[in-house]
Amino acid sequence: MILNASGCLDALTAPNVAAALDCFVTKTVTPLPRGGNPPTRIAETPVGMLNSIGLANPGIDEFLRVNLPELAALGLRLWVSVGGFSAEEYAASCALLDAWPEVEALELNLSCPNVEEAAESAAAIVAACRAATTKPLWAKLSPANWDIAGSARAVEAAGADGLSLINTIRGLAIDARTNRPVLSLATGGLSGPALKPIALAAVFQCRRVSQLPIVGMGGVRTGRDAFELLAAGATHVAVGTTLFADPGAPGRIRAELQVELERNGFTTSAEASGIAHAPARA
Amino acid sequence: MTPPPRRERVTVVANEQIGPYTLLRTTRGEVDPGVPGQFFMLEAPGRILPRPMSLCLVPTGELAFLIDPIGPGTQAICALQPGESLQVLGPLGNGFRLDVEQPLLVGGGIGIAPLPFTSQALARRNGGTPPPAVLGFRSAHHAEAAALVPNAEVCIEPTYVTALIPAGLDVLACGPEPMLEAVRAQCPGSQLAWEAPMACGYGACYGCAVEIDGELKRLCIEGPVLAA
Ligand SMILES: Cc1cc2nc3c(=O)[nH]c(=O)nc-3n(C[C@H](O)[C@H](O)[C@H](O)COP(=O)(O)OP(=O)(O)OC[C@H]3O[C@@H](n4cnc5c(N)ncnc54)[C@H](O)[C@@H]3O)c2cc1C
Ligand SMILES: Cc1cc2nc3c(=O)[nH]c(=O)nc-3n(C[C@H](O)[C@H](O)[C@H](O)COP(=O)(O)O)c2cc1C
Ligand code: FES
């Protein structure tokens, strides 16, 4: 299926774009409201964009009271992205969301480069959330972790049901006029085309050590990009930065992916998942 | 009330130089011009993100944008030649309220971009008479763009446009942030069109957040025109 990358679409301001996806993923929700980082929060580079939004969100209580009912009314398949600063915080939000049948799954954002790293390990957070909810848990991992396959194995052992690969990687842009960082917090998360080879490597390495389903994301602009993530081992694909330039991307990429699958002798995404791991044909 | 935004590939009809700025005229297709002060996201060829632009004029069957080529994105758009095409998405955001008693248009530099369309729309509500305008520019070269706005008084730095604003009028203003801050201080109740870096223009990225009523809010959704 095709999803949006968390933080790259608001179904409430763009319901038609969300409706073209198979499933909508919310922006990461944290226990307390966050205004986010001061502007300037975005910068463009020739190979991608940088963001330091800083997890702007209304906080879990307001989200449950106002946003979630509005999202539920749209009738979409819905995943909620959960963030926090300790395993207890993640688990508390998961417990609250557990009561909502409209929420199909929870994505644990274990990897936002714009906030302080969660003190606890990814596996400890997943374990705490596992105890707090029966909903499927997708662990979203950071490509900054050199041993991402090790993390994948650890979160699987802790009870994750799937992997979301990958979040952004830290970057910096310098303003041509002022010679100072463009972003107010100096560094931000790099997304877009530059991320694609990094995402392919992460998916490939995690697929080698884990059979969990994988949402692949990072720089997907075309059906071919989506196909390559499937080939590396993803079972689903998410689009992020591409949505900013092309709100029609979900439908376009779906159609292009279908053509690419057929061109390669497949009828479904599932058949193409992981084919890059097969030995090269002679 | 406002028409839904639409994304369409339009073709460049003309690329005209006005002082240091470029007036880019394109086909309109099925795109609705919207309300003056609303904006469009224009594809910047070869770049990752589109760029927000106000609609400057609405020639029959066309859209026209006035663009200051200050960086890679605007330069790529200004380099487009007749016959070449680009994606546009819009109209987006909230434009100017036109139901005002005694409008005065206030513009600074490239901030005059939405004012020609605004002037026309206000003239249509007023038996064809365009509203008065006061426009400020950095140089006589920049001030060539004042020809796009009828009934305008023009000043060039070091005179600032705020010196030309009489009291008691309903100000509709667009320009650099220091100008808007000065207008806000001088003319309570004015309508101000602000800028912020925008990746999407439709509420998806939260990149355009500015402080509104003490909270960080998305300018592309709440604005770009805000009450002072
Ligand atoms: C709602 C809205 C409507 C707009 N309408 C118009 C319009 O009609 N015509 C038009 O020309 N522009 C307009 N702008 C501004 C325009 O979108 C930006 O100038 C453009 O995105 C810059 O992209 P770039 O890649 O060329 O430059 P960037 O690389 O983004 O910027 C180049 C340099 O200029 C600085 N800079 C960025 N923006 C500005 C600015 N506005 N003024 C001065 N310096 C700046 C940056 O800090 C950087 O140093 C509008 C912006 C908004 C939010
Ligand atoms: C503006 C912006 C905001 C983002 N916000 C979040 C977020 O709140 N939670 C999260 O898990 N990832 C967030 N991400 C990361 C994306 O979900 C995705 O992992 C990353 O952008 C790579 O995909 P892409 O190259 O297709 O954009 C954000 C990315 C961008 C560009
Ligand atoms: S420009 Fe993306 S949310 Fe406003």
Do residue B38 and residue B113 come from a single domain? no
Do residue B85 and residue B108 come from a single domain? no
Rounded to whole angstroms, the Cα distance separating B39 from A250 reads: 24
Residues in A lying within 8 Å of B, measured between beta carbons:
7-10, 12-14, 17, 27, 35-36, 38-49, 51, 53, 56, 176, 192-193, 241, 243-248
Do residue B206 and residue B125 come from a single domain? yes
Q: Is the torsion defined by CA of B88, B93, B98, B104 positive or negative?
A: negative
What integer is the mean pLDDT of B12-29? Answer: 98
Instruction: Say yes or no for a CB contact (<8 Å) between A56 and B216.
Output: yes
H or E element, residue B16: strand B6-18
Rounded to whole angstroms, the Cα distance separating B194 from A280 reads: 56
Going by pLDDT thresholds of 50, 70 and 90, the confidence category of residue A111 is confident
Q: Please, which residues 192-221 of chain B have a Cβ atom closer than 8 Å to chain A?
A: 196-200, 202-210, 215-216, 221
Rounded to whole angstroms, the Cα distance separating A238 from A24 reads: 10
User: What is residue A115's predicted lDDT score, i.e. its pLDDT?
Assistant: 47
Question: At B56, which CATH number?
Answer: 2.40.30.10
Q: Could you give all domains of chain A from N- to C-terminal order, each with its CATH number?
A: 2-37+53-172+197-276 (3.20.20.70)
User: What is residue A167's predicted lDDT score, i.e. its pLDDT?
Assistant: 96
pLDDT at A117 over 80: no
Residue A6 · residue A112 · CB < 8 Å = no
- A24-33, A143-152, A174-183, B191-200: least confident range: A143-152
User: What is residue A119's predicted lDDT score, i.e. its pLDDT?
Assistant: 41
Name the nearest CA neighbour of A214 among A198, A232, A227.
A232
Rounded to whole angstroms, the Cα distance separating B23 from B116 reads: 12
Instruction: Say yes or no for a CB contact (<8 Å) between B199 and A42.
Output: yes
For chains A and B, what is the number of CB pairs under 8 angstroms? 93
Chain B residues with CB inside 8 Å of A38's CB?
216
Do residue B113 and residue B199 come from a single domain? yes
Q: Would the CB of B166 count as within 6 Å of ligand 1?
A: no
Which residues does B82 contact at the CB level (< 8 Å), separation at least 6?
A: B12, B13, B14, B15
Å from CA of A66 to ligand 1 middle: 34
Do residue B73 and residue B107 come from a single domain? no
Residue A102 · residue A68 · CB < 8 Å = yes
Q: Which two tokens stand for residue A80?
A: 């909620």
Instruction: Say yes or no for a CB contact (<8 Å) between A49 and B43.
Output: no
Do residue B88 and residue B118 come from a single domain? no
Q: Would the CB of B199 count as within 6 Å of ligand 3?
A: yes
User: Which chain B residue lies closest to A191 (C-alpha atoms)?
Assistant: B48
Q: Where are the alpha helices (DSSP H) in A51-147?
A: 60-62, 68-73, 87-97, 122-130
Q: Please check whether residue B68 lies inside any domain of the structure.
A: yes
For B228, other C-beta atoms within 10 Å of its C-beta total 16
Q: Which of B63, B92, B121 is the last residue of a domain?
A: B92
Q: Please check whether residue B52 lies inside any domain of the structure.
A: yes
Residue that has been written with the tokens 């909270």 in this structure: B215
Instruction: Say yes or no for a CB contact (<8 Å) between B49 and A44.
Output: yes
| Residues of A known to be catalytic | 112
Instruction: Say yes or no for a CB contact (<8 Å) between B204 and A13.
Output: yes
Do residue B130 and residue B150 come from a single domain? yes
pLDDT digits (tens, 9 = 90+) for A149-184: 999 999 999 999 999 999 999 999 999 999 999 999
Rounded to whole angstroms, the Cα distance separating A157 from A163 reads: 12
User: What is residue B77's predicted lDDT score, i.e. its pLDDT?
Assistant: 98
- A128-156 burial string, b = 16+ CB within 10 Å, else e? bbbebbebebbbbbbbbbeebbebbbbbb
Q: Which atom of ligand 3 is nearest to the CA of B203?
A: 3
Residue among A25, A50, A142, A168 to mutate when testing ligand 2 (max atoms within 8 A of CB): A168
Residue B18 · residue B145 · CB < 8 Å = yes
Rounded to whole angstroms, the Cα distance separating B130 from B120 reads: 7
Q: Would the CB of B166 count as within 6 Å of ligand 3?
A: no
* Least Cα separation, residue A42 to chain B (angstroms): 6
Do residue B116 and residue B221 come from a single domain? yes
User: What is residue A121's predicted lDDT score, i.e. its pLDDT?
Assistant: 84
Q: Strand runs (DSSP E) across B50-138, as ranges?
A: 51-54, 62-67, 85-92, 103-108, 133-137
Question: At B145, which CATH number?
Answer: 3.40.50.80
Q: Please check whether residue B98 lies inside any domain of the structure.
A: no
pLDDT digits (tens, 9 = 90+) for A215-267: 999 999 999 999 999 999 999 999 999 999 999 999 999 999 999 999 999 99
pLDDT digits (tens, 9 = 90+) for A36-79: 999 999 999 999 999 999 999 999 999 999 999 999 999 999 99
Instruction: Say yes or no for a CB contact (<8 Å) between A44 and B216.
Output: no
pLDDT at A116 over 60: no
Q: Which of B65, B92, B119 is the last residue of a domain?
A: B92
Å from CA of B220 to ligand 3 middle: 5
**Percent of chain A whose predicted confidence (pLDDT) is above 90:** 92
Name the nearest CA neighbour of A107 among A180, A164, A22, A173.
A164
Do residue B43 and residue B83 come from a single domain? yes
Name the nearest CA neighbour of A115 among A45, A219, A189, A182.
A189
pLDDT digits (tens, 9 = 90+) for A193-211: 999 999 999 999 999 999 9
In Å, how far are A35, A137, A171, A239, B200 from B207, measured between CA atoms? 12, 28, 16, 17, 8
Q: Which atom of ligand 1 is nearest to the CA of A175?
A: 49
User: What is residue A198's predicted lDDT score, i.e. its pLDDT?
Assistant: 98
pLDDT at B47 over 80: yes
Q: Please check whether residue B1 lies inside any domain of the structure.
A: no
Do residue B51 and residue B117 come from a single domain? no
What integer is the mean pLDDT of A131-152? Answer: 94
Helix axes A122-130, A148-157, angle to 10 degrees: 20
User: Does the interface predicted TM-score (ipTM) exceed 0.90?
Assistant: yes
Do residue B47 and residue B159 come from a single domain? no
Please state, rounded to an integer, the average pLDDT across all residues of chain A: 95
**Percent of chain B whose predicted confidence (pLDDT) is above 70:** 99
Which residues does B227 contact at the CB level (< 8 Å), separation at least 6?
A: B189, B190, B191, B192
Residue A254 · residue A277 · CB < 8 Å = no
Going by pLDDT thresholds of 50, 70 and 90, the confidence category of residue B214 is confident
Rounded to whole angstroms, the Cα distance separating A123 from B166 reads: 65
User: What is residue B114's predicted lDDT score, i.e. its pLDDT?
Assistant: 98
Q: Please check whether residue B97 lies inside any domain of the structure.
A: no
- A229-259 burial string, b = 16+ CB within 10 Å, else e? bbbbbbbbbbbbbbbbbbbebbebbbebbbe
Q: Please check whether residue B32 lies inside any domain of the structure.
A: yes
Do residue B108 and residue B81 come from a single domain? no
pLDDT digits (tens, 9 = 90+) for B55-83: 999 999 999 999 999 999 999 999 999 99
User: What is residue A113's predicted lDDT score, i.e. its pLDDT?
Assistant: 54
pLDDT at B122 over 70: yes
Residue that has been written with the tokens 């109740």 in this structure: B189
Q: Would the CB of B71 count as within 6 Å of ligand 1?
A: yes
What integer is the mean pLDDT of B196-217? Answer: 94
Q: Strand runs (DSSP E) across B112-164, as ranges?
A: 133-137, 152-156
Rounded to whole angstroms, the Cα distance separating B117 from A104 reads: 47
pLDDT at A114 over 90: no
Q: Please check whether residue B45 lies inside any domain of the structure.
A: yes
Q: Please check whether residue B43 lies inside any domain of the structure.
A: yes
Domain carrying residue B195: 103-227
What integer is the mean pLDDT of B130-139? Answer: 97
Q: Where are the alpha helices (DSSP H) in A40-105?
A: 60-62, 68-73, 87-97
- Residue B32 identity (one-letter amino acid): D
Per the structure, the count of domains in chain B is: 2
Task: Tell me the three state secondary structure of residue A276.
Answer: helix
